[in-house]
Amino acid sequence: MKRTIPIAHKGITIKVRQEVTSVNGKSYTNYVVHDYTSGRLARHKRSSLEEAKTKAREIAERMASGRGPVLDLRLRDEIHRALESIQPTGMRIDSVCLRFVEAFNILGNADGQAPQTRHPDVVRPQ
């Protein structure tokens, strides 16, 4: 018998799976927490639901804080600096990125070269 129990923590839901196996006629209940924070599947088995809930909360905490190994250290630093830079504007990072690309397409890059257009038959005046 398999049953899924959702555990929500800090806006992230982690699913805990209850698995019942039988060995030599005796039933054993395990709780499995799937963890993808390392980029690969890791299955954490626990013998009680409380232990599985604790592990699920730890995973959700790592995902919510960005401390998991999903992002390497250099990328996390760049993201934190970007978030600090745009914080006074009150805008979200995805909106800022879209506006930057729009401005870049209009103004060109720092070398004064016009950006490449998506349509090669469109000629921009220099």
| DSSP-assigned letters across all residues of 60-90 | HHHHHHT-STTS-HHHHHHHHHHHHHHGGGT
Range 33-60 average pLDDT: 89
Give the CA count within 13 Å in the CB-facing half-sphere of 79: 12
Range 31-45 average pLDDT: 87
Report the percentage of the chain scoring pLDDT > 90.
26
Range 88-111 average pLDDT: 84
- How far does the chain reach from its first CA to its final CA, in angstroms? 69
Evaluate if residue 3 carries a pLDDT over 90. Answer: no
Q: What is the pLDDT of residue 94?
A: 86
Rounded distance, CA 36 to CA 59, Å?
Answer: 9
Q: Work out the pLDDT band at 54, boundaries 50, 70, 90.
A: very high
Q: What integer best gives the mean pLDDT of the chain? A: 81
Q: What is the pLDDT of residue 56?
A: 92
Rounded distance, CA 96 to CA 8, Å?
Answer: 30
